[in-house]
Amino acid sequence: MSRSTTTRPAPSVLSTRESAEVAAANASGRRPVVLVHGLWLLASSWDAWKARFEDEGYAVVAVDWPGDAADREAALTDQALAGTSVAEVADHVAAVVEGLDQKPILIGHSFGGLLVQMVAGRGLAEATVAIDPAPSRGVLPLPFSALRAAFPVLGNPANRGRTVLLTFEEFRYGFANAVPEAEARELYETQHVPAAGRPLFQAATANVWPWTVVRADKKNPQRGPMLVVTGEKDNIVPFALANAAFKRQSRNPGVTELVEIPDAGHSLVIDSRWSATADAALTFLRAQGL
């Protein structure tokens, strides 16, 4: 059977919460900031960031992935994310952005860092901060720590069509290796939720599958300024991956910068030192007049 090239997915539907935050941002007249989480987290993982950026004068919208549960308790037994594609989530983020009256600043973590690059490459962002971004097509390094962190998903092909919950030991290695064990356990018990397996399989094959959806237009002159943030001790997205993303994005005529957060692991947006990462983002935005 031939593959159809004309069928388009249904338009993404915003959640009630997302719609309310978009409406509030438009009513405020403030510059909007759109926050995009990655795998194994929910939009609520940005709560501290939302309060901080609102205090700084921005209007903040935290994006759900299509199928995200309303809270962690519901997410632990919900399979709605199973089979979710990177392209579906990128289109959903773009739908949120297009509902805003002003071009927003995009901030994303992990797979959210990939997604904001994809949306910025469509010319929809005023500026972008990609924190420990998952790799897109063209980002070639395959560090051992990244492969080990992804193995709980990639080690079983059946995970492509379902969600995966990490054990504490897997979460400790991938996310919370740079914080004390007590804090790692608290993050695991309050933030960690099952994640769709399909995006990791898509990212793993992005450089061998010509039609991959895991790609960002890195040369679009309408991309806007971009900051890539890396955590010094990150195992999931170590420096080699973040630096490769930075080098690819540096082909853009716009401003592209890279900053490393000392002693930080992949939990750098949710752990007790999250404010250092937020400070780096705010410093960059101020330097761009935003």
Q: CA torsion 108→227→133→49, rounded to 10°?
A: -30
Stretch 224-252: mean pLDDT: 94
Q: Confirm whether 8 is domain-assigned.
A: no
Q: What is the CA radius of gyration of the chain?
A: 18
Within a 10 A sphere around the Cβ of 9, how many other Cβ atoms?
9
**Placement of tokens 């092909």 in the chain:** 157
pLDDT band at 138 (very low <50, low <70, confident <90, very high): low
Q: Are 145 and 238 in contact (CB under 8 A)?
A: yes
Q: Are 104 and 93 in contact (CB under 8 A)?
A: no
Q: And the tokens for 162? A: 């379902």
pLDDT band at 197 (very low <50, low <70, confident <90, very high): confident
The CA distance from 37 to 40, in Å, is 9
Instruction: Return the percentage of the chain with pLDDT > 70, whole number.
Output: 89
Stretch 152-165: mean pLDDT: 85
The CA distance from 262 to 199, in Å, is 28
pLDDT band at 80 (very low <50, low <70, confident <90, very high): confident
Q: Confirm whether 264 is domain-assigned.
A: yes
- Residue 196, SS3? strand
Q: Confirm whether 10 is domain-assigned.
A: no
What pLDDT, on the 0 to 100 scale, is given for residue 1? 31
Q: Which of 34-48, 107-121, 137-151, 232-246 has the lowest mean pLDDT?
A: 137-151
Higher-confidence position of 149 and 128: 128
What pLDDT, on the 0 to 100 scale, is given for residue 28? 97
pLDDT band at 3 (very low <50, low <70, confident <90, very high): very low
Q: How many domains does the chain have?
A: 1
pLDDT, one tens digit per residue, over 23-75 is: 999 999 999 999 999 999 999 999 999 999 999 999 999 999 998 988 899 98
Judged against a pLDDT cut of 70, whether residue 139 lies above it is answered with no
Taking alpha carbons only, the member of 71, 75, 94, 35 closest to residue 196 is 75
What pLDDT, on the 0 to 100 scale, is given for residue 6? 31
Give ∠ CA 227-233-238 in degrees, rounded to 5.
Answer: 60
Q: Are 44 and 71 in contact (CB under 8 A)?
A: yes
Domain enclosing residue 166, as ranges: 16-287
pTM score, whole prediction = 0.92
Q: Which amino acid is at 192?
A: H
Q: Confirm whether 1 is domain-assigned.
A: no
Q: Confirm whether 11 is domain-assigned.
A: no
Q: Confirm whether 218 is domain-assigned.
A: yes
pLDDT band at 203 (very low <50, low <70, confident <90, very high): confident
Average pLDDT of the chain? 89
Kindly give the pairing relationship between strand 195-196 and strand 163-164: antiparallel
**Placement of tokens 């579906």 in the chain:** 88
pLDDT, one tens digit per residue, over 257-285 is: 999 999 999 999 999 999 999 999 999 99
Judged against a pLDDT cut of 80, whether residue 129 lies above it is answered with yes
Q: Confirm whether 7 is domain-assigned.
A: no
Stretch 237-245: mean pLDDT: 92
What pLDDT, on the 0 to 100 scale, is given for residue 237? 92
Show the DSSP H helices in the chain as ranges.
16-28, 47-55, 72-75, 86-98, 111-120, 144-154, 168-174, 181-190, 198-204, 239-249, 274-287
Q: Confirm whether 9 is domain-assigned.
A: no
Give ∠ CA 156-199-260 in degrees, rounded to 5.
Answer: 110
Q: Are 246 and 237 in contact (CB under 8 A)?
A: no
Q: And the tokens for 77? A: 């037994």
Task: Give the CATH number, domain containing residue 248.
Answer: 3.40.50.1820
